[in-house]
Chain A
Amino acid sequence: MRLKLRGIVRKQLRRLKTPSGLVLTLVGGSLFALWIGSLLLNWILGSSEPSDPEVVRPFVRLGALMMTTLTLSSSLAHRGLFVPREEIERLFSAPLSRSDLIRYRLAVNLGRGAFGGIVLGLVVIRHLPNPLFGFLATFVALETLPVIGQMAAILSGALERRAYGRLKGLQAASIPLAILIGGGVFLLAVGGDGAFGDTVRSFTGEGGLTALTQHPLVRAITLPFAPWANAATATSASDFLLWMGVSLGIWFTLFELAARLPVDFRELSLETAANVAERIRRARRTGGGAAASKVTKSVVGLRIPWLLGRTPMGAVAWRKCGAIVRKARGTLLVTLVVLAFVTFIGNAAFADGHDDEERMFGAVVVAMLSLFYLAGGLRFDFRDELDRMEAIKAWPLSPARLFVAMLLPEVALVSVLAAVPVFASALLSNGVEWFVVALLLTLPLLAFAWVSLDNAVFLLMPVRMVPGQEGALQNAGRSILLFFLRGILITTVGGCAFVGGFLVHRLVLELWGGERQALVAGAAVGWLVLLAADFLLVLFGAWTFRRFDVARDRG
């Protein structure tokens, strides 16, 4: 444990040695400090009226049920005792008892869970009657989850041979089930006033989430979580100590039970370690998102279109199309669901009764939401090529042409998909108006600007972040920097396009007096400004590609 901790600290310190690592750590750290600070300030300056424990308690129980469901669901994916591949051979061959191995892994998981426990504790204290009791009870509850998860993983591994098929089915069903429960609760929670809330209530009845928590069935299911809920919502020290004692007793009993389970988990653990290592490798290699999906033999028959012909540029674009056609199918299905949701929101924004300006704003918001989601999830560009940069840099193409060819298929896909909710929302409300057409024509340029900026920043500071791995702080810093940079760029470019278009619109209106001609001329100039911005971004991207050093920029 000591050596592992030392290794983690050393890795973190090493990241601080590079200028980009230092900057990103500072930004990420500041962001985190700001967040925690805002939570504490919110609590200190917020309402001083204490929450009613009788009202809060059922919610705490329900929350504990949801978190336990998610923990059990994810632990089924780590059957046996999960030990990272780099440790497993050494630990399994070391003179350690199985119990000690489990205790070691539990200690590691508890160490990781402690951070989440502190953060969640700080998040929830303002909703609980006594902040100190609430914080401590939340922390203990969060620290019990890894123990429950580990027990479930070892037991499910032991049962696997007997009922493998059923367990696999349960595992497959548990994630959508958890999403369904979470989604349902979310919809109930957000279903406040307005049309959306009315729609939700028409399904759930007037009581909403409170009624759900009071339902006898829900109360029965959440009963095992009563000790934590009672400790978290305790109003007197005696109550708190009683329920905290019970919670700690449960924790200790589960810990020792998990450590003493008479199960030989070694074969399963080796298999799990290999599977997890492969998943991490794939995510690191591809940068996550849809590009990290596994490619199966079934996709071989799918033809890849030669969008730009059989030229060197066309070849690069063809390969990227191949990655999209053969990897993104699953993600595209999820994307369609998300886009349907965005269309639903967009429909509310486009609804009758709003004036022109509000409808235009609604259309832009829908487009930007879609772009934000799509550009983040569909990373079929340089971000999934870090391991192949050596080969890519040897290709006989100029950096600018290569940069464009790598990005074009993704930009085309993102533009088409982002156009769907804008177009559908317009069709469902006032029809396709002029600003919708202008927005649809602008989407490819905006998507290109968005994706090329992300790629240029990636080439400048390549990072391969996998959730749960080291470097979370740097990645958070990088994400926030990129977010601001993107915001500034899009605002500047959009502002220039708008001002240019507006001036030309006024000029044409003054000189010739035709509103229609003025609108077309203004839109055309705005479009050309965006095109010029994209051109400059290509030059910037080409420069970042040229300076990318395969020997140094390993992420």
Chain B
Amino acid sequence: MSEAELPPPVPLLEVEDLCKRYEDTQALDHLSVRVQEGEILGLVGPNGAGKTTALRTIAGVLPVQEGTVRICGHDVRREEEAAKRVLAWVPDDPQPFDTLTVEEHLEFTAALYGVREWRPRADELIERFELSEKRRALGGELSRGMRQKLAFCCAWLPRPRVVLLDEPLSGLDPRGIKSARLAIRELTAEGTAVVLSSHLLELIQALASRILILDGGRRVFVGTLDEARATLAPVEGSSLEEIFFAATGGEDAT
């Protein structure tokens, strides 16, 4: 069988016709998207577009009202535990446990996800996210940036197949931003699928393989940056920012 005849790879994340309604608000309206192995999907949209709702529903934090979410083939409604075991979710404001130290957070995560030889991996992550001096610090003593780094360590530890990141660079200093970007890239190099939601369009432009633009809970566009330029850009060679404003109907402040 030639390479052209090979079946397309099974997506690690499949979302089909996902709907979510809050009383009189349609937060997600028939959202469908697939993310392949090693791919970074950049999720952008104005405030209230449904980005966090989409991520929370995929993570199993919010119930699936309508539609299907599959993670590595596991339906989050029917095989909830199996789906969650291969997924990591980093919310926009991680809240560490104030009674556990940084090291104990990793010990807890290892037991929760059934990681046996966790210590070398934990040491490596603590080193990589510059938390070595905070190993024995309690969760409540950490700054916003440190909390974010700890959330990365816990997410990375079980080597998840799918990682969902909501505003992952909030509160990080320039050095932290650099190492987080590098870590996300390395994660995808190992075959993990990443969904990255952010208002920092430059970050999405630099990291994402494909872009999903949401507005009012509906998918406005999904594809590569080049495809977005071809279909949505007002002028040739437009930036993601220009494409974003063109797609969501807002005005570019500049």
Which of A's residues lie within 8 Å of B, judged by CB? 295, 297, 299-300, 304, 306, 310-312, 314-316, 318-319, 322-323, 325-327, 387-388, 390-391, 393-398, 546-547, 549-552
Query: Quick check: A391 and B56 within 8 Å, CB to CB?
Result: no
Residue B62 at the chain A interface, CB threshold 8 Å:
yes
How far is the CB of A329 from the nearest CB of chain B, in Å?
Answer: 12
Query: In the assembled complex, which residues on chain B have CB atoms less than 8 Å from the CB atom of A550?
Result: 56, 61-62
Residue B112 at the chain A interface, CB threshold 8 Å:
yes
Instruction: Select one of B62, B98, B114 contacting A549, CB under 8 A.
Output: B62
A317 and chain B: residue at smallest CB distance: B111
Query: Quick check: B108 and A398 within 8 Å, CB to CB?
Result: no
Instruction: Select one of A316, A323, A390, A396 contacting B84, CB under 8 A.
Output: A396
B53 and chain A: residue at smallest CB distance: A551
Query: In the assembled complex, which residues on chain A have CB atoms less than 8 Å from the CB atom of B136?
Result: 300
Query: In the assembled complex, which residues on chain B have CB atoms less than 8 Å from the CB atom of A394?
Result: 59-61, 84, 87, 89
Cα A310 to Cα B118 with chains together (Å): 12
Query: Quick check: B108 and A318 within 8 Å, CB to CB?
Result: yes
Residue B101 at the chain A interface, CB threshold 8 Å:
yes
Given A550-B56, A551-B53; A391-B94 close (CB under 8 Å): yes
Query: In the assembled complex, which residues on chain A have CB atoms less than 8 Å from the CB atom of B112?
Result: 312, 315-316, 395-397
Instruction: Select one of A311, A323, A388 contacting B95, CB under 8 A.
Output: A388
Query: In the assembled complex, which residues on chain A have CB atoms less than 8 Å from the CB atom of B99?
Result: 295, 299, 319, 322-323, 325-327
Residue in B59, B61, B85, B91 whose Cβ sees the most chain A Cβ within 10 Å: B61
Label chain B's interface by main secondary structure: mixed
15 A-B interface contacts by CB (under 8 A)? A311-B111, A312-B113, A315-B108, A319-B100, A322-B97, A325-B99, A326-B99, A390-B61, A390-B91, A391-B89, A394-B59, A394-B89, A396-B82, A397-B84, A549-B63
Residue B81 at the chain A interface, CB threshold 8 Å:
yes
Residue B31 at the chain A interface, CB threshold 8 Å:
no
A321 and chain B: residue at smallest CB distance: B99
Cα A319 to Cα B60 with chains together (Å): 21
* 4 nearest A-B residue pairs (beta carbon): A315-B111, A396-B84, A396-B85, A315-B112
Residue B16 at the chain A interface, CB threshold 8 Å:
no
Residue in A315, A388, A396 whose Cβ sees the most chain B Cβ within 10 Å: A396
Cα A292 to Cα B3 with chains together (Å): 61
Given A297-B138, A396-B113, A546-B63; A387-B95 close (CB under 8 Å): yes
Q: A310-B111, A315-B111 are in contact. List 15 more A-B contacts (CB 8 A).
A: A295-B98, A295-B140, A297-B141, A322-B97, A322-B100, A322-B104, A327-B99, A390-B91, A391-B91, A393-B61, A394-B59, A394-B87, A396-B82, A547-B63, A551-B22
Residue B124 at the chain A interface, CB threshold 8 Å:
no
Query: In the assembled complex, which residues on chain A have CB atoms less than 8 Å from the CB atom of B59?
Result: 393-394
Instruction: Select one of B62, B100, B113 contacting A551, CB under 8 A.
Output: B62
A302 and chain B: residue at smallest CB distance: B99
